[in-house]
Amino acid sequence: MNIFRLVGDLSHLLAILLLLWKIWKTRSCAGVSGKSQIMFGLVYITRYLDLFTNFISIYNTTMKAIFIAVAIATIYLIYFKFKATYDSNHDTFRMEFLIVPVGGLAFLVNHDFTALEILWTFSIYLESVAILPQLFMISKTGEAETITSHYLFALGSYRALYIVNWVYRYYFEGFFDLIAIVAGCVQTILYCDFFYLYVTKVMHGKKLSLPA
Amino acid sequence: DENDIAKDEL
């Protein structure tokens, strides 16, 4: 464990708790893409299948359990409890356009042709594009609630910090995982546009609104 | 093997 990965994990935890809190407190999931949340749920479930078989540390197990629980709770709030506030007209990104190619790629490019490894690879690839429906929804509505932009900033920062963690691990532990690194770079690049808007607008107290 | 190291990350 290194500081970059720890801060990255905490930023990730902050992001998903922030979103759950926003939906719960405002009793509304307006502006939130349910499709992205479904895909994040899929990411955690396919990645953490080894939750009960492969014990690494208390921290690792606890975080995995929290991520899965919070993701399921968020999906429940969006599609059941506060379903009336779900903005399905703007959450129109076709998930199958992401899941099918990612599933195919996971079969073709992986470290080991075993079920667990292919599911892990699928999870890594899916996570890199899972935010697209959310970014697409913001581009359609033209704006995002400030709390939702904080959620996206924390979520984008987590994988950016993981890239620093991978550089650190490469130089100090001689370890690197190309699949995770390439997917992590793609994932972070997708946030660049949002990061620019966040820094130039939200940081100056303005609402995040895309140029119409 | 070395790949299992990768799985210590979340």
pLDDT tens, residue by residue, A93-152: 999 999 999 999 999 999 999 999 999 999 999 999 999 999 999 999 998 999 999 999
- Looking at this predicted complex, what is its ipTM? 0.86
Residue carrying structure tokens 């400030």 = A146
**A143-144 and A208-209 as β-strands: parallel, antiparallel, unpaired?**
antiparallel
Q: Which structure tokens are listed for A45?
A: 């479930």
Task: Identify any residues that bridge with A143 across adjacent strands, giving them in sequence order.
Answer: A209
pLDDT at B7: 85
CB contact under 8 A, B10 and A177: no
Amino acid letter, residue A111:
H
CB contact under 8 A, B9 and A180: yes
pLDDT bracket for residue A92 (50, 70, 90):
very high
Q: Is the pLDDT of residue A173 over 60?
A: yes
pLDDT bracket for residue A211 (50, 70, 90):
confident
pLDDT at A103: 98
CB contact under 8 A, A177 and B6: yes
**Are residues A207 and A146 in contact, defined by beta-carbon separation less than 8 angstroms?**
yes
Residues A57-83, mean pLDDT to the nearest whole number: 98
Contact of A9 with chain B, judged by CB distance below 8 Å, is answered with yes
pLDDT at B6: 62
Q: Which residues of A touch B10 (CB under 8 A)?
A: 9, 12, 60, 63-64, 67
Query: By C-alpha distance, which of A3, A1, A36 is closest to A151?
Result: A36
Q: Is the pLDDT of residue A210 over 90?
A: no
Helices (H) and strands (E) in chain B, counts: 1, 0
Cα–Cα distance for residue pair A182/A188, rounded to 1 Å:
10
pLDDT beneath 50, residues of chain B: none
- Burial code (b: 16+ CB inside 10 Å, e: under 16) for A151-162 equals bbbbbbbbbbbb
Nearest CA in chain B to A177: B6
* Local structure of residue A49 (DSSP, 8 states): G
Cα–Cα distance for residue pair A67/A176, rounded to 1 Å:
24
Provide the number of CB pairs (under 8 Å) joining chain A to chain B.
27
pLDDT bracket for residue A212 (50, 70, 90):
low
Torsion A55-A60-A64-A66 (CA) sign: positive
For A64, which of B2, B3, B10 is closest by C-beta distance? B10
**Are residues A159 and A153 in contact, defined by beta-carbon separation less than 8 angstroms?**
no
Cα–Cα distance for residue pair A157/A119, rounded to 1 Å:
24
Q: Which residues of B touch A168 (CB under 8 A)?
A: none
With a pLDDT cut of 90, the percent of chain A lying above it is: 92
Cα–Cα distance for residue pair A121/A170, rounded to 1 Å:
20
Contact of A175 with chain B, judged by CB distance below 8 Å, is answered with yes
Query: Which residues numbered 114-153 in A keep a CB inside 8 Å of some CB on B?
Result: 117, 120
pLDDT at A209: 85
For A9, which of B2, B5, B10 is closest by C-beta distance? B10
pLDDT at A6: 98
Crossing angle (nearest 10°) for helices A34-47 and A96-108? 20
Mean of all residue pLDDT scores within chain A: 96
Query: Minimum mean pLDDT among A16-20, A81-85, A199-203, A206-210: which range?
Result: A206-210
Cα–Cα distance for residue pair A126/A70, rounded to 1 Å:
18
